[in-house]
Amino acid sequence: MTSFLTNIQSDKDEYKKIIGEVTSSIADTFADERAYAGPTPEELKKIIHQDSILPEKGIGWEKTLELTKEKILPNLLRTSSTDYMAHLHGPSLVETIAAESIISTFNQSMDSWDQSPVATEIEVEVIEHLCRLFRYDEKADGVFTSGGSQSNQTAIIIARDMFCNDILKYDVKKIGINEKCLKLRMYTSEISHFSMEKSAHILGLGYQAVVKVPVDSNKRMDIDALKSLIEKDKKMGNIPFLVVGTVGTTDFGSIDSLKKISEIACKNNMWFHADAAYGSGVIMSDKYAARISGIEMCDSITLDFHKMFVMPISCSAILLKNGKNFSALTIHADYLNRKEDEEDGYTNLVDKSIQTTRRFDALKVWMSFQMRGKDGWAKLINTSMENAQYFYKMLKSDSDFEVLTEPEISSVVFRYSNCKDDKTADRVNKRVRRSLIHDNGIVIGQTVSDEKTYLKFTLLNPLITQKKLDQLKDLIKKLAVL
C-alpha cells in the first residue's frame, strides 16, 4: 500500500476512509469535559512503552489506529477544554483545523513559487492585509514564520544588520561580527520573552548584549530606567541599536508604552521592535485596540496566530514597516530562487525567510478571517479579555486571594494567600496546581514574581464562562485548605 491521494478512485476512497476514521476517533476521544486524563509522567511512560516502534513487518493501518486510540488519543491534552488555561497555548478553531488538512494534504512549500504557486500568492495577499490591519503603509511587508521566537529572531537579525550597514557602515552579513559588534546593546523589559537572549546568543552577540530594563508596578517597561540605561551604555562606549517593546508579556499580558519607547528609539537612531506574539489579537477588537496603539510606529512587529487567535501551531508572522529591509535575509541559489524569477514576476518567499521549506500557514488566517469577519473576531477577543477582567474583580474582592496586576489582555496572575506566611503560601499554591492536574484534569499555569509563587489563568478560550471561573475559584479554595 503506497497511500497517496491521487486521481485514481481507489486512492480517493482510501484517503477518505483513513482521514474519516481518524476524524471519528478524535471526536470520540472527547468523552468528558476534562482537559487531561491525569496520568503522571511515570504512568505515561508505562502506557506508551513498546518494545519496538519499527517492527520487522508493519502492523497495517487498522492496528496502528487501534494503538493510537489506546495509547495516545485519550492522554492528549484537550486544549479546547475550558479546564485548560495554563499557557499562551490555545484551542484550535475548527475551520483552521480544516485548513490544516488542506495544508498537509497538498503539502506546498513556501520557499519558491514553483513549490507553492497559489499558496505563495495567498500568503502575499494575507501579509498585505495584515500590514493594513496594523496600520502600516504600502512600503511594509512580512512573512509567515514558525512562531513568535523565530519572528523575534528575524527582527533582531534585520535590526542588527541594518544598524551595522547604515550607522556603523559595516557589512556584518558578509564579514561577520567584529569587536565593535560586541558592543551592540538591545533593550527589553526584564520580563520580556527569553527569545531575546536566545536570539542574541545565536547572533553571536551573547546574552551580554541584552540589557534588561526594570518594570513598574504594572509590569510595564520603566521608561526613565530605559533612558538612563541607554545613556549609561553610551558613556561606557557601548552601542545601543534596538529596543523591544513587549505587547502582552508572557506572564501578565502587560503592554509596554509604545509611544514613549518610540520617541526614545527615534532620538537614538535605534530600531524599535514590537513583540506582539501575545497581544497582537487585541487589534481585532474595536473596543480594546487602543490598548496597543503606537504599534504602527514600530519598525517591526511579531504576530502569533497560535496564541490569542486560537489557530493550530504553528502560525506566526513578522511584519516590517519597510519591506526592503528583508534584503538582509536574501541570498540567491541557482536551484531555488533565481534572480531572473523575480524579474519575471515569480515571487520566491524564501528571500524573506530564515526557513527554507516552510508550511502554508497563511491559509488558516485567510479562511478564518473570511469566515468570521471583523465582527466575529471582535467577539472572540472581547470575551477572553472580559473574562480576565471578571476573574480579576472576583479575586480582588476575596480576601483569601492576592492578585498581582489588573489584566490588560487575558491573563490573571494570583495566589491563595490565606496562609500563615509566604513560604507556606508558596507550598499550598504549588500543591493546588498539581492536584488540579492529576486529580481534576484541570491545567492552569504557575509563575514567580518577587520570589513568590503565583497561579496563572491564561483565558484564551472564549468558551470559558463567568460561572466556570466562579467554580474554579471555589475549587482552588477547597483544595488550598485540604
Ligand X SMILES: *Cc1c(COP(=O)(O)O)cnc(C)c1O
> Residues in the site for ligand X, rule: CB under 6 A?
88, 147-149, 152, 193, 195, 246, 248-250, 275, 277-278, 304, 316
Please say which residue, 200 or 239, places its beta carbon nearer to ligand X. 200
Q: Are strands 210-213 and 184-189 parallel, antiparallel or unpaired?
A: parallel
CB of residue 144 to ligand X, shortest distance in Å: 12
Instruction: Quote the least distance from Cβ 457 to ligand X, whole Å.
Output: 15
Given the complex with ligand X, which of 85 and 239 has the nearer CB atom? 85
Q: How far is the CB of 304 from ligand X (least distance, A)?
A: 5
The side-by-side arrangement of strands in the sheet containing 300-304 is 141-145, 316-320, 300-304, 271-276, 239-246, 184-189, 210-213
Strand partners, 247: 255
Residue of this chain nearest to ligand X (CB atom): 148
Q: How far is the CB of 151 from ligand X (least distance, A)?
A: 7
Residues 6 or more apart whose Cβ sits within 8 Å of residue 393 = none
CB nearer to ligand X: pick between 198 and 431? 198
Rank residues 82 and 195 by Cβ distance to ligand X and give the closer one. 195
Give the residue carrying C-alpha cell 489506546.
70
Task: State in angstroms the smallest separation of the CB of 150 from ligand X.
Answer: 6
Retrieve residue 41's grid coordinates: 509522567
Q: Name the residue nearer to ligand X (CB basis): 145 or 417.
A: 145
The burial class, CB within 10 Å (0-12 / 13-18 / 19+), for 448 is exposed
Distance, in Å, from the CA atom of 378 to the CA atom of 478, rounded to the nearest integer, reads 35
Shortest CB 147 distance to ligand X, Å? 3
271-276 and 316-320 strand pairing: unpaired
Nearer to ligand X, 281 or 441 (CB): 281
Q: Which residues does residue 448 pair with via DSSP β-bridges, in sequence order?
A: 453
Backbone dihedral region for residue 130 (phi beyond 0: left; psi -120 to 50: alpha; all else: beta): alpha
Q: What is the four-CA torsion angle of 152, 153, 159, 163, rounded to 10 degrees?
A: 150
Q: How far is the CB of 250 from ligand X (least distance, A)?
A: 4
DSSP letter for 305, please. S
Q: Which is nearer to ligand X, 277 or 455 (CB)?
A: 277
Q: Select 150 or 347, whichever has its Cβ closest to ligand X.
A: 150
CB of 192 to ligand X, least distance (A): 7
Integer Cα distance of 442 and 35 in angstroms: 6
